Amino acid sequence: MDSKQDTSFLNVQPIPTKNWKQNLDNYELKEIRDKQNKNEFVKNRKLHYLWYNYLKLALDLERVRYTIRRNKSGTRSLIKTTGINETKVIVNKRIYKDWYLRTIPETKFHEWYKNPRNFDLFYGEDFKLSGHPKYEVLVRRFNIFIEYQNRMRNYNYTRGDMIQRMKVSEDIIKKYHNDYRMKKRINPKKAYDGIVVSDVRNCEGIILSVCEGRFTK
C-alpha cells in the first residue's frame, strides 16, 4: 500500500470513469443511452451497481463515525457551527440483514451480484429504485465526495491565501472537469467550492437514503 492510500480518510475508491465517452459526440451518446434504457436489465444493473457502491461508502463512513451536519432549516452544512443538528451515518442492519454486510467492504459488486440470491434482492418488495437517477450524475457525486473528504483531511497546500476548501475544490474540478463536463457547470460568478460542495451535499442525501434501504437521485 502506498503512502497516499495510507493517509486516506476513506477506504472506498472512486468509481472509474468511462473515458471512451469523451470520443463520442452527443448524437452517438444519445443512441447508446436509448438502447440501454430500452433494456431494463442493463439499465437497472447499472443502478444496482451504484447502489452497492453507495452502500459500501456508507459502511466506510460508519467506520470513521462520519456525521452529516444540517442547519436549523434542514439544509446540509459542511461548516462546523453552533445551533446545527448532526446525523451520524449508520446503515440500518435490520433492513440489510440479507446482504451479508460484513463481506461487502472486501467484495466487488460483480462477484456479489452474480449470486442469484443477491440479484433477487433488488426485485423484492424491500429495495426499490425511485425517481429518475442518472448514472453519470450519481458517479460524479460519489467520486467528488470521496475526493473532497480525503483531500480536506490531507490538506498541505501553501499557495497564497487561498483557503483550504477553495484550493481542494479547484484541484478536484481540474481533475474531473473533462470526465464530467465540468466546464458547462462552471459559472464565472460561482466559486469552485460552491460547485464541489453542492455535489458533496447531494451525495450525503443519497447516502442517508441508502442507509435506510432507498436509492434515489
SS (H, E, C) 52-86: HHHHHHHHHHHHCCCEEEECCCCCEECCCCCCCEE
Q: Which of 136, 214, 213 is nearest to 182 (CA)?
A: 136
What is the model's pTM?
0.79
> pLDDT tens for residues 61-98?
999 999 998 775 555 555 454 556 889 999 999 999 99
pLDDT digits (tens, 9 = 90+) for 146-181: 999 999 988 776 655 568 888 889 888 888 877 665
Which letter does DSSP use for residue 209 in this model?
H
